[in-house]
Amino acid sequence: MKPDEEGFLFPVIDNDQCIDCGTCYKQCPCNSVKPEPVEPIYYASAIKDKESLLESSSGGTFIALAQWMLYQGGYVCGCVMNEYMKAVHICTNDIELVRKMQGSKYVQSTITECLNEANTKTSKGNLVLFTGTACQIAAAKKYIKNTDKLYLVDILCHGVPSPLYLKKYVSFLEEKHKGKLTKLEFRNKKQLGWGSEHRTYYEIEKNGKVKGFRPSLPAYFCSFFWGINLRISCYNCMFACENRISDITIGDFWGYWTYFHKKFPEGISINSVNTEKGKYMIEKINNQLEYCIPVSKDQAKGTNTNFFHPTKIPATRKNFYKGIEKMKYRDFIWRVYLDKSSRMKMLTSLYGRYMPKFIKGFRTNHKKDVE
Ligand SMILES: Cc1cc2nc3c(=O)[nH]c(=O)nc-3n(C[C@H](O)[C@H](O)[C@H](O)COP(=O)(O)OP(=O)(O)OC[C@H]3O[C@@H](n4cnc5c(N)ncnc54)[C@H](O)[C@@H]3O)c2cc1C
């Protein structure tokens, strides 16, 4: 897997070694793992433990499943930000590392090493919980031989931005604050509550002191949320449909209002339980959950369009990454905000709180610093 011209990891064939047998095409998960019809059961859930809930992006289904897996003596595979602020998948049985998997990292993560480890662990008879985007689950399904020991959980995915774009954002923040970025969260609930709007929070270490920042309009998040910087294949994702390929799919329960008629300031998950293994897992974590309530398909899906189809490609995507190698992150800010279709979204983001409720699309309650 090598970065392409937009900075996304892409499989590359070594033409000097290639014998033109076509096996790589046949083995590619996108050509060989097809979504089959499933009859999912949907549950709305939130974990009891408040600290775990606040560290999670939604209702904490992931950490509940991970804790159950560790308790069984198994391993958990998931995405962490490493010390260079790169998103990588790791396979571990260390709870401290598993906690770092909590929270959504809005970028394509690297899974190659992790897949190898998960394969080795399962072949030695260990249980493994593999979590990630649906395309990563397809890779795990295809690559890991001992599927009896394997539990698969996909996060309901909108698409992933380029690792090179994130790298530019990280350098920009470090140059701006003249320090080292030590934490970057896209869905920080502790300071900013649960919501679909951006909740970016980061910490910079400078002269031995750590300071936290909450930008009100980070172009990085907005370009993700508005779907203008996703990997080109995400707009055509064959796994973004009702027939999920994992045991459980977890997402944000944005449709909660029609069901509960109350707010969930700390977050609530929607779980699509797709297989018998999935049902077994949900039963096993029931004691960790405050709610685990069956909901109908329509309520479950609510406004979560990625349950039905991939994110639609906006016109802005065409040139979004053009020239990325030479561009500075600052240039992207203008690319995001000067775009005609983004302008209205940006205005409502910044000034939403002054608008009547019915035209508020997107609002923030803190300082206006565009970055
Ligand atoms: C790129 C991306 C797009 C998403 N889009 C949507 C969406 O459109 N609608 C929706 O309802 N939910 C979406 N989610 C999922 C949602 O934000 C929560 O991650 C999910 O509901 C699980 O929440 P949780 O509280 O159980 O666990 P959390 O602790 O929030 O999630 C941790 C899990 O996310 C995985 N993860 C984190 N970052 C990545 C990554 N870059 N690549 C692969 N796996 C990752 C971890 O491995 C772990 O399994 C998205 C998440 C990501 C990472």
For ligand 1, the distance from its centroid to the CA atom of residue 17, given in whole angstroms, is 37
Does the pTM exceed 0.85? yes
Residue that terminates a domain, selected from 269, 289, 307: 307
Shared domain check, 265 and 326: no
Q: How many CB atoms lie within 10 A of CB 203?
A: 16
pLDDT of residue 367: 44
CA–CA distance, 315 with 140 (Å, rounded to integer): 33
Residue 12 is assigned to a structural domain of this protein: no
139 and 263 belong to one structural domain:
yes
- 328 and 296 in a single domain? The answer is no
pLDDT (0 to 100) of residue 183: 95
Same domain, 190 and 329: yes
CA of 287 to the centre of ligand 1 (A): 23
pLDDT value for 184 = 95
Same domain, 330 and 206: yes
The Cα–Cα gap between 331 and 231 comes to 20
Determine the pLDDT at residue 349: 58
What's at 100, amino acid-wise?
A: K
Q: Whose CA is nearest to atom 4 of ligand 1?
A: 157
Is 17 part of any domain?
no
Residue 154 structural domain = 40-160+236-307
82 and 210 housed in the same domain: no
Residue 269 near ligand 1, beta carbon < 6 Å: yes
With respect to residue 25, please indicate whether it lies within any of the assigned structural domains. Answer: no
Report the C-alpha gap between 368 and 53 in whole angstroms. Answer: 28
Domain shared by 183 and 299, yes or no: no
Is 45 contained in some domain? Answer: yes
Is 61 close to ligand 1, i.e. is its CB under 6 Å away? yes
CB of 246 shorter than 6 A to ligand 1: no
Residues 59 and 155 in one domain: yes
pLDDT of residue 111: 97
Contact call for residues 179 and 167 (beta carbons, < 8 A):
no
> Does residue 259 share a domain with residue 141?
yes
49, part of any domain = yes
Question: How many domains are there within the chain?
Answer: 2
How many whole angstroms from 100 Cα to the centroid of ligand 1? 13
pLDDT of residue 368: 47
List the CATH number of the domain containing 296: 3.40.640
The mean predicted confidence, pLDDT, of the chain is 90
- Helix runs in the chain, H state only: 23-27, 29-32, 50-55, 61-71, 95-100, 112-123, 134-143, 163-177, 189-192, 219-225, 256-260, 276-285, 297-301, 317-320, 329-337, 340-351
Is 249 a pocket residue for ligand 1 (Cβ < 6 Å)? no
> Is any ligand 1 atom within 6 A of the Cβ of residue 131?
yes
Pick out the chain residues at pLDDT < 50.
Answer: 353, 358, 360-368
What does the alpha-carbon distance between residue 205 and residue 181 come to, in Å, rounded to a whole number?
6
In this structure, is residue 95 part of a structural domain? yes
Residue type (1 letter), 190: K
CA angle 103, 106, 111 (to 5 degrees): 85
Atom index in ligand 1 nearest the CA of residue 64 equals 26
